[in-house]
Amino acid sequence: MSLVLVDIADRVATLTLNNPAERNSLSKPMVDEIIGAMNAIESDEGVGAIVVTGTAPAFCAGANLGNLAESTPESLGSIYEGFLRIARSPLPTLAAVNGAAVGAGLNLALGCDVRIAGRRAKFDSRFLQLGIHPGGGNTWMSRRIVGPQNTAAMVVFGEILNGEEAERIGLVYRCVDDDELLDVAHAMAARAASSPRELSKVVKRTISEMADVSEHSDAVAKELTPQIWSTRQPWFAERLAALSAKISSKNRA
């Protein structure tokens, strides 16, 4: 059985963790398949965005590490690479959280650019409840997304959030009915994938780099070079011509 499934449609690659018997927990074999799948997806010029989800009933129940008391930086790092590989992708990534996202599974969702949740989704840090310090950049990602108070509520106070609660604090962009989750995620990802692939990658990088910019004038300057670059690309002329033709057609009508 493949532990990771990949389906490509409308320039969107849907990567599905596929070990429901173990609630899609991250094992070394699954991580190896994630890495292989991501390498293949990113080398395919026909893919412009990625949706990450899990085979029901869970999104990802965390790391399958065996005896944590004997873990090492190397053993933890090899498992964390499952979500870090996705977090490093230059392509737009969207997590469709269809069930429990626990520990490293929460990290998997946090590492994506956008999160959409079904109503039965559950976001559960659980590190402290297991007597272990958070890892994999959990507190850093969470603090950047939802701020220090919400991070403390989840990590220190053990708050478990469903899809609607996650939407309320900004952990997810949108909460939808469970049976609509994948359709909504795919449609949103398809819009990103319809943009020129290289342009999406550059814009994603710019958004990330803006975290270190504090002045508006510096932000304007930072965007100027890639904006000028984009106007010199063939897709800009093509899309501008198509828009002009559309406007002219409406005016004639």
The answer to whether 182 and 53 have CB atoms below 8 angstroms apart is yes
Please name which of 184, 153, 166 lies closest in space to residue 122, comparing C-alpha atoms. 166
Return the pLDDT at 248. Answer: 75
Return the pLDDT at 58. Answer: 98
CATH topology for the 4-193 domain? 2-enoyl-CoA Hydratase; Chain A, domain 1 (3.90.226)
Residue-range domain boundaries for the chain? 4-193, 213-252
CA dihedral of 95, 99, 104, 110, whole degrees rounded to 10: 30
Number of other CB atoms surrounding residue 141 within 10 Å:
19
Rounded distance between C-alpha atoms, residue 30 and residue 79, angstroms = 9
Return the pLDDT at 253. Answer: 63
Per residue in 185-221, pLDDT tens? 999 999 999 999 999 999 999 999 999 999 999 999 9
The answer to whether 189 and 50 have CB atoms below 8 angstroms apart is yes
The answer to whether 174 and 117 have CB atoms below 8 angstroms apart is yes
Q: Is the pLDDT of residue 250 over 90?
A: no
Per residue in 57-107, pLDDT tens? 999 999 986 656 677 888 888 999 999 999 999 999 999 999 999 999 999
The answer to whether 108 and 81 have CB atoms below 8 angstroms apart is no
Per residue in 111-168, pLDDT tens? 999 999 999 999 999 999 999 999 999 999 999 999 999 999 999 999 999 999 999 9
Return the pLDDT at 69. Answer: 63
Return the pLDDT at 66. Answer: 67
The answer to whether 172 and 166 have CB atoms below 8 angstroms apart is yes
Banded model confidence at residue 249, pLDDT cuts 50, 70, 90: confident
| pTM for this predicted structure | 0.94
